[in-house]
């Protein structure tokens, strides 16, 4: 795996030095502009630790570069005017990792969120920011900045950025079932009235004009959702890329969008 990655880096460097990557990037951008963009893109930011491991770096280096790449992603979203973006930053299961690693992740995330709050484009683009997941288990300072971002952007509805942190798709469904059950027991909802729309109204993504992603992208080569948006992903187009998140580039992002545009979506019909 390390050798293969090295070959990719060599070819990537040649591609970049010759200037072909810029030509290809401009061509891709012109191609994806010909067809409708996905309205809602969800991304599993995977491979930070393995990227560091294969380069003999410390794990925290992988998380640092991955956090920088997430900032790049936000720039691409602005440039391409993607309306809804959901990023999977940290799963509920990830919370079982060593304390030192989690502390590093929390520190990086807090710093990036503080920087995001100061980004004037949030207000210019009218971007609503919301964290989804089991937020109560997060450090207080992280909960605080997430709450501030949500409160300061709650009235915006032109663009949406959802940050899945301490998130579990199974817990999301469990929470929805509990709330619906309570409404039934309290007489505010009849069992026969429960349908897909009712369930969606109790999910973490209920604030979105389109809760279900058109496209779900995962980096690192893993081909599974790992509990990400289990209900919402029913008819999403899935794209798995054999590249670690810290290596992810705008060209890769546009490739994924172009792949999505070339697919025929039937929604089971």
- Residues that are catalytic: 46, 94
Task: Please tell me the distance from the alpha carbon of residue 243 to that of residue 251, in angstroms, as a whole number.
Answer: 12
Find tokens 């030509």 and name the residue. 23
Cβ atoms of residues 198 and 180 within 8 Å:
yes
Cβ atoms of residues 203 and 232 within 8 Å:
yes
Task: Please tell me the distance from the alpha carbon of residue 268 to that of residue 146, in angstroms, as a whole number.
Answer: 37
Could you give the C-alpha distances from 5 to 2, 41, 81, 180, 232, in angstroms and in order? 5, 27, 31, 48, 33
The CA radius of gyration of the chain, in Å to the nearest whole number, is 19
Residue 35 CB contacts under 8 Å (≥ 6 apart), including other chains: 261
Query: Within 13 A of 183's CA, how many CA atoms are on the CB side?
Result: 17
Structure tokens at 135: 């937020």
114: nearest Cα among 84, 88, 92, 141: 141
């Amino acid at each position: 795996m390390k050798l293969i990655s090295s070959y990719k880096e060599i070819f990537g460097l040649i591609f970049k030095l010759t200037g072909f990557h810029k030509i290809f990037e401009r061509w891709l951008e012109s191609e994806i502009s010909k067809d409708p963009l996905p309205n809602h893109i969800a991304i599993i930011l995977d491979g930070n630790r393995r990227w560091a491991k294969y380069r003999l770096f410390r794990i925290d280096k992988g998380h640092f570069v991955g956090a920088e790449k997430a900032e790049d992603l936000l720039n691409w979203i602005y440039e391409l005017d993607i309306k809804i973006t959901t990023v999977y930053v940290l799963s509920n299961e990830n919370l079982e990792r060593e304390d030192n690693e989690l502390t590093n992740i929390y520190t990086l995330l807090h710093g990036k969120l503080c920087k995001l709050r100061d980004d004037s484009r949030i207000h210019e683009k009218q971007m609503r920011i919301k964290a989804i997941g089991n937020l109560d288990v997060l450090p207080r300072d992280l909960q605080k900045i997430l709450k501030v971002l949500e409160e300061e952007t709650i009235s915006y509805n032109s663009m949406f950025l959802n940050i899945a942190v301490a998130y579990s798709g199974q817990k999301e469904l469990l929470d929805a079932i509990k709330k619906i059950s309570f409404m039934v027991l309290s007489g505010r909802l009849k069992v026969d009235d429960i349908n897909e729309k009712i369930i969606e109204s109790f999910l973490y993504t209920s604030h979105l004009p389109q809760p279900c992603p058109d496209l779900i992208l995962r980096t690192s080569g893993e081909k599974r959702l790992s509990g990400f948006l289990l209900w919402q992903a029913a008819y999403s187009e899935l794209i798995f890329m054999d590249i670690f998140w810290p290596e992810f580039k705008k060209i890769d992002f546009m490739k994924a969008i172009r792949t999505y545009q070339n697919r025929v979506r039937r929604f089971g019909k």
